[in-house]
Chains A and B, each alone.
Chain A
């Protein structure tokens, strides 16, 4: 068996590992002050590959699932699934009929009743097996998580005093406790760093081995998750979660299906299925007196067989498996949703609100060009720019060094010895290096203007040109002599345009939010291919935009990580918080991306759509199947209707279009097909139907053809084949 091949990973997740690895090295997020170099943070885009590939019919899951399917025959369990409950009641009735027949009170052939009863029990077991398989996959995932939740003894600081340490089991920690965590300690519960700076490995949760820096007082880097490990130094953490309510606890409960509640869509579908079941119940029950009148009375076994083949057992048996598997697919991509409802809402999204920085672009501006002033050679400017940035550890600084080296300059680290570094300050808004009386500085144009008096016209013009193109100009001066301008450019991640095109095909609009000026925003928006953008946006603008879109009847999704994103995350229909984000952000959103990859939103939308499509496809298939089943059972059932001594053949033979061998084999074939189709469709239920982004009309045409028309045709072929086999082995 092939794993996960037909899921959305292949289609929608186009960006993946970026070819520009070196660019990424210097790319830093918007909120990155104080974080370790980007290379150590979870890199975006390769999340889908991280989840361990699991064979669909992994024996480790299949074996317990088999046992579980027997346990699930308990009517109390089937109560939530009316369709399968009816099948089980039917199985009981036919089993009783079998007993009466054996006791000699019945008139039917015993083998026939026995076969029908057996296959009805199989039908129940197959449906249970599908559900157990889906749950098993979730459980396996939960087990892996649970292993990380080892009981640790936490060092609780009584009264916040480091001298008064009390050792307490992590399960006994309350919100508000202050704990000391040292190198190699496991962080006992979710909390917030209040003191200390340390690297923490979050591998247990995210699968990402590179440790991340945690320190107090920053929006992002202060929140820690229980189960993660401090790899260096120490931290004082204020616990924020009550026992049993930690992030990890919730995640385990969720993937195990323990906290699974039916989503509105599932409820609606269940109502539809229950309604159809009642319709068929009416059809079959009222058929009995009609058959009696026609002189062709139907036995209870045949009536039950007819009922079970008609009610939507295929979708009824697979419905919960589809839901669990959908959630499972999300977890495999390292996204944790607070409810199944959120996953479905993702499929309904009309508008994606995307931060420019970090989502659409790498977030760091990078040197793209050196523009020398009049009378300055390019080499002279390049060398000066290189010198000014030698000690600059910011991504911009590094990118200047990189570009200069690429243009033939050599970065001479020795130059740093004995040099005086001039750091960037908010007042001077310049930085650089001073050595041997030579001051090489770079900075904002107007800051430079203050030093040199008036800005030369050509520099001003170059800087305007850069700004007009959406870039940021930096002036380089040496000993107060302007040498030229560095063109810093924001870089759009590769593959974004293709993704946005796909989204547009699905009917989803993308809106880019940026703090940049309109000029820069226009350039980036055009380059990335978003549908719309909001420039010079303040954090509170997000919530305003969301409300506006919602008022027009659209569903909005967004990602966020900061505390000031929390209101917008809460307002949005699908709010994906980054795992690196603050507790407030995680609390406000309805999903958390453990990889902290803002572009994951696009995958989430695809998973939501696939979940709904799988339900719709199998419902359509299930109902379409009934046509063939009627043609199998009805002529068999009424072979003797209004028989007179004048006719030698049943008038209804004309309806036996499949030319089935005997009434018994016809009914049995339909029942067997009905049971086997559940097993045959388990892979589709677990993986989801194949999905490529396209317009609703195109999707509908395709799926109607496959599952609607296919659903009408398939059982004709299947029932006939089973009948041929039954005839072959003499059971007809």
Chain B
């Protein structure tokens, strides 16, 4: 019951905030005035003057893509060097040493690509300067990059006979200044008020329960935590991420963090509808995302609440009431007691539906089916609200495919939002579609045949396969959450996961910008009774169906050898131990 109530409350808040946030962003990216303009506009103009950006000059998709790639390359170099050189840099009270090249490469790629996969333990690895001026900065600008690309694609649909899709520098600046910064400031203040640390102090020494001396890490946590959620980054200040009481102290902060993850992605669906001139189009996308979201929440929550039959057989109670007392029940392994089954399951689904990757429980310890949902959420391309910007452009590519496959059935050249879908568009959409299976299944295949990779598993048999599959799924999907149960800071995983992140980010963005450029150039056809309607329940059902079928066809065999067979073996009472 409390599971359902939490979901209803959560979705109600999300629904209520979608329009205002979306409308605000539509105004920002259309260059209209907003309430923030009196404060932010002078800063924005100052940045353009300093950098010499002409905000009135728009770009073709190729220029836009080059600007985006150069900016990200610069970002990568900065983060890489900050890590390598942090020993000699200030704000390093623990005098942490420079990070070895493969790990530094992995982490730099990870934060630039909005993945925030962390192969290291932050509190014993990263100095404050690296965290603040490297990682936190990327929390903003990698998110802003995603938003910019999404807006460019939306412009592709909205414009007609145009060569330009916007100015990358302007989109990047506006996404940061008007959207990400204000929301993050509000959230950081809220987190500090709820007890999240924000200081540059040395770690606090304390006496543990066993009488031993322990170090309690400190640092500018709130200022990284806020953009971590708002920008669907997910890279924790601490290794335990949002399970750590300093990152996510209470059920209320947990709730706010969950809302923060979906806030911009949900808002962008409205932005999209508004910018293409029909908000119903945006709500249709929102509805398709919601339908997939509810399915995921239902499966994970039920699986987790049902628990593990083997534990019941062993005499452990997984009921929600024991001796008249209310208990969480279900599978509580590696879940925080302050969150319980409901908030942990919901958080897991949200963080993987979006490309956030923050975790408040260990996905590795979920039941097979409960853990398969996060895996599938990422595998589908994180289009269930998804990463900031990435979710929208991802689902719009699915829309193009759905329209093309089924749209022919109305007897016309398929068109989406009045744009005829022609060979070039299908080619770009297919390139995007190929990225996920190529990287996820390709790297997993290689890993499963490599002894060194297999040695990183903490579990044998099907679960071991799931751990490796999850790692490459998470990296390619730029999610960054770890299934855990795998030692990923190794010579095999650091470069391969790093490559997976780069492939999953930029091999996807470039064809999407090409698609945007091609769409913008097209005429917009008038809507008639002969046009495939892309607003009603039929369209929503079709879009959901295509996403599920494409996903199922891609991952069915691999998942069968992972979570699916594990589920049936669990039911048959078959267990394994690491040999």
Contacts and interface: CB of A to CB of B under 8 A. Distances in A.
A108 to B, nearest CB: 20
B557 A287 contact: yes
A601 to B, nearest CB: 15
A434 B166 CA distance: 81
A280 B405 contact: no
B466 to A, nearest CB: 11
B533 interface: yes
B372 to A, nearest CB: 14
Given A613-B408, A642-B462, A286 B442 contact: yes
B565 to A, nearest CB: 5
A651 B568 contact: yes
A504 B529 contact: yes
B455 interface: no
A646 B426 contact: no
Contacts of B426: 268-269, 271-272, 275
B9 interface: no
B438 A290 contact: no
A617 B554 CA distance: 22
Contact of B410 (A286, A291, A553, A613): A613
Interface string A302-315: 00001000100000
A638 B561 contact: yes
Given A290-B558, A624-B549, A647-B574, A617 B409 contact: yes
Contacts of A286: 441-442, 444-445, 558
B552 interface: yes
A147 interface: no
Contacts of B462: 294, 641-642
Contacts of A608: 411
B568 A507 contact: no
A507 B533 CA distance: 12
Contact of A652 (B434, B552, B565): B565
A507 B441 CA distance: 44
A283 B554 contact: yes
Contacts of A552: 526
Contacts of A620: 405-406, 409
Contacts of B461: 294, 642
Contacts of A691: 411
Interface stretch (B43-51, B84-92, B239-247, B417-425): B417-425
A700 B410 contact: yes
Given A289-B449, A619-B405, A627-B552, A641 B413 contact: no
Contact of A272 (B404, B420, B552, B574): B404
Nearest to B532: A696
A306 B557 CA distance: 10
B565 A651 contact: yes
B572 A268 contact: no
Nearest to A503: B530
A274 B434 CA distance: 11
A642 B461 CA distance: 6
Contacts of A701: 538
A612 B412 contact: yes
A285 B427 contact: no
B423 A264 contact: yes
A616 interface: yes
Contact of B553 (A271, A626, A638, A696): A626
Contacts of B528: 350, 507-509
A691 B529 CA distance: 16
B561 A508 contact: no
Interface string A537-558: 0000000000000001111000
B557 A700 contact: no
A153 to B, nearest CB: 48
Interface string B509-532: 000000000000001111011111
B277 interface: no
Contacts of B574: 642, 644, 646-647, 651
A716 to B, nearest CB: 15
B413 A612 contact: yes
A275 B430 contact: yes
Contacts, number: 230
B433 interface: yes
Contact of B560 (A293, A344, A638): A638
A553 B441 contact: no
Instruction: Give the dominant DSSP class at A's interface.
Output: helix
B530 A350 contact: yes
A529 B377 CA distance: 52
A630 interface: yes
Interface in A603-639: 608-610, 612-613, 615-617, 619-620, 623-624, 626-627, 630, 634, 637-638
A616 B409 contact: yes
A506 B529 contact: yes
B448 A271 contact: no
Nearest to A630: B556
B564 interface: yes
A644 B433 CA distance: 37
B411 A699 contact: yes
Nearest to B404: A272
Contacts of A641: 462, 560-561, 565
Contact of A288 (B401, B427, B445): B445
Interface in B386-417: 401, 404-413
A350 B421 contact: no
B412 A290 contact: no
A610 B408 CA distance: 10
B280 to A, nearest CB: 14
A414 interface: no
B180 to A, nearest CB: 34
Contacts of B542: 700, 704
Contacts of A612: 408, 411-413
Contacts of B316: none
A279 interface: yes
Interface string A260-288: 00001101110110111011101111111
Contacts of B558: 283, 286-287, 290
Nearest to B418: A553
A355 interface: no
B35 interface: no
B409 A613 contact: yes
A696 B576 CA distance: 55
Contacts of A725: none
A279 B553 contact: yes
A347 B444 CA distance: 45
Contacts of B533: 696-697, 700
A274 B429 CA distance: 12
A452 interface: no
Given A279-B437, A283-B441, A283-B554, A652 B568 contact: yes
A565 interface: no
A695 interface: yes
A344 B413 contact: yes
B493 to A, nearest CB: 16
B20 interface: no
Nearest to B556: A630
A290 B444 contact: yes
Given A279-B434, A652-B560, A292 B530 contact: no
Q: Give 4 closest A-B pairs by Cβ, nearest first.
A: A616-B408, A507-B530, A609-B411, A275-B430
Given A275-B434, A642-B462, A652-B560, 13 more contacts: A264-B423, A283-B554, A293-B449, A507-B528, A507-B530, A627-B552, A634-B556, A642-B569, A646-B574, A651-B565, A654-B568, A696-B411, A703-B406
Interface of A: 264-265, 267-269, 271-272, 274-276, 278-280, 282-294, 306, 310, 344, 347-348, 350, 504-509, 552-555, 608-610, 612-613, 615-617, 619-620, 623-624, 626-627, 630, 634, 637-638, 641-642, 644, 646-647, 651-652, 654-655, 691, 695-697, 699-701, 703-704, 707-708
17 contacts: A268-B421, A271-B427, A272-B405, A275-B434, A286-B441, A289-B448, A293-B561, A347-B411, A610-B411, A612-B408, A617-B408, A642-B461, A644-B576, A654-B568, A655-B560, A696-B529, A704-B542
